[in-house]
Amino acid sequence: MLNRLREKINPLTARLGTKLGTLGFSPTFWSTVGLVMAIASALSFGLSYQFAGIILLSPVVVGSIFLLISGFFDIIDGSIARATNKSTAKGSFIDSTYDKLAEIIVFIGISVGGLANPVICLIAISMSMMVSYSRAKAESLGIDLKGIGLGERAERLLVIAVMGLIPITNSVEIGTIIVSILSSFTFVQRLHYTLKKLKN
């Protein structure tokens, strides 16, 4: 769903990519910044039980903001690579690996911080990885799954970030449950789509 939105804002991200590309940093540098922001998000979530009520901003809100920033760099690193003509297989591999690592770290932080039941976190991350794996395996068989399913990585992390900004009890746990459902549904969608294509 957000991939379709990303296509509409491509002119904007392309301009941002061009401007950031003039700073001289490689696309992998910006991918690393995104990963660092995800780690900061996870730390904020994970330490929320220690700092709740002590600092001005809720650690959950801080974690959600870091997660949104991480998502921004996840979008922009590809634009920088294209703008600077530095798109490489190595960079693509690093970016994809960082994306999965970031997602795992964030859910670990949520679990450690007691913001969601650990079992729910386990289901969420397991099904999220199955969504990613199904796409990778299908693409190795020549089947493109881009845009297939509602719960791709961008949607999953956006749900967590937005829910973390909502001042209601157990908002992050609700978000984790939503991610679990979206991921499971998306995996089934991709499984069905791939099997259908393989019959032809």
| Range 67-78 burial, b when 16+ CB lie within 10 A, else e | bbbbbbbbbbbb
- pLDDT for the residue 122: 96
Residues 42 and 105 sit within 8 Å (Cβ to Cβ) = yes
Residues 6 or more apart in contact with residue 44 via CB below 8 angstroms: 59, 60, 62, 63, 66, 109
> Could you state, in order of their start, the residue ranges of all structural domains in the chain?
2-199
43: nearest Cα among 109, 114, 112: 109
Residue-by-residue DSSP string for 91-125: HHHHHHHHHHHHHHHHHHHHHHTTSS-HHHHHHHH
Q: What is the number of helices (H) and of strands (E) in the chain?
A: 9, 0
Classify domain 2-199 by CATH number.
1.20.120.1760
pLDDT tens for the chain, 200 residues long, are 555 555 665 667 777 777 877 888 888 888 999 999 999 999 999 987 666 555 556 889 999 999 999 988 887 877 788 777 787 888 889 988 999 999 999 999 999 999 999 999 999 999 999 999 999 999 999 998 877 877 788 889 999 999 999 988 899 999 999 999 999 999 999 999 999 988 76
Is 99 catalytic? The answer is yes
Helix 89-112 and helix 153-165: axis angle, to 10°?
A: 40
Catalytic residue among 74, 77, 95, 99: 99
